A = this chain, B = another copy of it.
Amino acid sequence: MPNTPNDLATATTATSGSKAITEQKILTGDRATGQLHLGHYIGSLKQRVELQHNNQQTILVADMQGLTDNGNNPSKVADNILNVVADYLAVGIDPAKTTICLQSGIPALAELTMYYSNLVSIARLERNPTVKSEIQGKNFGRSIPAGFLSYPISQAADITAFQAQLVPVGDDQLPMLEQTNEIVRKINSLANSQILRECQPLLSNISRLPSPDGKSKMSKSLGNVITLDASDKAISQAVKAMYTDPNHLTIDQPGQVEGNVVFTYLDAFHPDAEYVAQLKEHYQRGGLGDGKTKQILTDCLQTLIAPIRARRQALIADKGYLIEVLKKGTEQAREESQQTLDKVKTAFGLNLI
């Protein structure tokens, strides 16, 4: 497996030999609105595979959150639940080490959302910078679904239900954790006791992977992704079409590395950082063509994806097994989240029956 510039597992949990000294509760997840892709792999999936060894990790297949902007097209969510589970298992997330669960199968998440909704104002939701920019991006205006505006409350329910201490996020998601911790403090104040835990972000050092054309991030909704079951041919085509340095017209000219998507991907995915550094130097002084760098990247990505694709194909052919994994994880998550719900209901005085 290739290295990544940052090893978040060791950065966040002190390990001594093979035994963890501190084990932390981690919550993460994905909206189930499409197959996962290389951007997810490098941004989070790879990290989760590492984190699962020394932590209690819960991964939520967020079908309910996926519905918040797909209410009129729910099959986009329903059809992708098992795709996402297959992606998890294919990259090496181990259901014996990580709880993989389905949001819609956990009633306590909806119930906690209802309680928390009484403690968060509409104005506060509208101030959330992440939601604000998403509303603009989706051209929602005031026709924004109520469920979408309030999804930060639902996320707070997800995080607190599992008493997560660490939540892996990008910079852009920090306002979500602020919102969560505001709710935690309000509930703890009502309960007059620390029944919920504040969470900390586990920030990724890797910035979002650009799309092959370099114009935007790799995104399911923009349709410019390299999926985790991409064929060798699809990978090769995607790399061939990649944006490099438009002023690098002949091989012997010096080329620019910044903004050159091929090098961004080599930085992210190539296992040998020193070799990539040498390539950059060569490219910058001239004499290294885009055909050559693209071939190196193609080989690297094909090598990375081939075994994932093979596992994924076997998994997706066995839907019964995927459902079984999801069912088992969801049952466990249901029990765990119910304990938190009971505490929150008691804080509100609603533990009568």
Contact = CB atoms under 8 A, between A and B. Distances in A.
Contact of A107 (B107, B117, B119, B347): B107
A118 interface: yes
B350 A119 contact: no
Interface in A54-97: 63-64, 67-72, 74-75, 77-79, 81-82
Given A110-B110, A153-B146, A77 B120 contact: no
Nearest to A145: B118
A352 B320 CA distance: 10
Q: Which of A107, A126, A330 neighbours the largest number of chain B CB atoms within 10 Å of its CB?
A: A107
Interface in A111-130: 111, 113-115, 117-123, 125-126
Main secondary structure of the interface of A (DSSP, over half): helix
B104 A121 contact: no
A70 B347 CA distance: 13
A154 interface: yes
A118 B78 contact: no
A225 interface: no
A345 interface: yes
Contact of A74 (B64, B78, B190, B353): B190
CB-based closest 8 A-B pairs: A78-B349, A71-B118, A117-B147, A107-B107, A123-B142, A110-B110, A118-B147, A74-B348
Interface of A: 63-64, 67-72, 74-75, 77-79, 81-82, 102, 104-105, 107-108, 110-111, 113-115, 117-123, 125-126, 141-150, 153-154, 190, 323, 326-327, 330, 345, 347-350, 352-353
